[in-house]
Structure formats: C-alpha cells, structure tokens
C-alpha cells in the first residue's frame, strides 16, 4: 500500500534462528508507530507420500507450545542452501527416507503480522528407505497415516501446525 514509510529498524536481539527488530514506521496518516518484526533465516517443508498413498509425519517436542506435535518434516535452510536442497536433506534426516521425486507445492508465510518466515512446501514421492540422521537435539518419531486419518486430525484439532495443515490440504487438493 502506498503511504507507509519505514523510517528506522533496530536489531533488539539476534538468536540462532531469528532476529528480533523494532521498526519505526510512518503511516499514511502521518502518525509514526513502532512495530515488532521477527526476521527468520528461512525454512522448507515436505509432504512425504508413500507408494501406498499414506503420508509420513514426524512427532516431536516443540518448546514454544511445551508439547509434542505431529508435523510434516521441515527444517531451517542452511547458508548457501536452496529450499529444495533443504527438504532433500531434511526428509532423510527426519524420516529415514530418500525421495526419488520432489515437486514444489506452495509457499506459505507462517505469521504474516509480525514475522517474515517463508516456507516453501514440497511433495515427495518414490520414497526409498535409508536411515534417520537426527541432530543431537532432535528426538523424532516417524508415524504413517492415511489421508483420511490426517484430515480427521486436522479438523479435530489434533494437528495444529500451519505448515502441516497447508501442505497436506494442498496436496489433497492437487490430487483431485
């Protein structure tokens, strides 16, 4: 929109994954406001579809919620890495499978009101068994579900992760 002007940006704290900024913005009305901004290093995710048509999900603890969640595999994009390279690495690390085929499905913005995190989501097929390569701080269980089971878990509130909901429902729409 016209009339917005970012006057200043101050880094308040830099973490391992995100930076916390304070933006000073002039509104179209002329009023100057302070907005919070979280800058994210980037991530990518993948919907792993087996030859049977089931989907592999990972169960892991999420500190922000202080609970385990069920999600599609995903991870941070390393410096110099493309999103496709990221999901190719992450699917094997987290699930123990290598994808023979990877297709871009969509890109989502996870928290558009205060964060710039973009997550390209891919669909992986032609899965071949390999082995997990978990990071030292990762404890992940791999679970396999039918698409009907996943839809039920999404609409009953058992699956609450935005990238997982977007990726699975996008994949199911693609299949029609």
Catalytic residues: 136
Tokens of 12: 């308040």
In sequence order, the β-bridge partners of residue 33 are 25
Choose among 121, 34, 135: nearest CA to 73: 121
101 neighbors 126 (Cβ within 8 angstroms): yes
Tokens of 26: 């002039």
Tokens of 104: 């871009």
Scanning the structure block, which residue is given the tokens 């791999």? 142
H helix runs in 39-128, sequence order: 83-95
């Amino acid at each position: 929109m016209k009339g917005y002007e970012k006057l200043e940006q101050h880094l308040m704290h830099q973490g391992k994954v995100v930076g916390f900024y304070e933006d000073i913005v002039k509104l179209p009305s002329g009023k100057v406001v302070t907005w919070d901004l979280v800058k994210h290093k980037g991530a990518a995710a993948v919907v792993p579809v087996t030859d049977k048509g089931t989907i592999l999900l990972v169960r892991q603890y999420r500190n922000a919620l202080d609970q385990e969640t069920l999600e599609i595999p995903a991870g941070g994009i390393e410096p110099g890495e493309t999103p496709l390279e990221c999901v190719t690495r992450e699917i094997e690390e987290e699930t123990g499978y290598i994808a023979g085929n990877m297709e871009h499905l969509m890109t989502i913005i996870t928290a558009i009101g205060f964060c710039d995190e973009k997550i390209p989501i891919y669909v992986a097929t032609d899965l071949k068994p390999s082995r997990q390569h978990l990071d030292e701080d990762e404890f992940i269980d791999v679970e396999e579900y039918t698409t009907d089971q996943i839809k039920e878990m999404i609409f009953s509130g058992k699956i609450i992760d935005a990238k997982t909901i977007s990726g699975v429902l996008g994949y199911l729409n693609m299949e029609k």
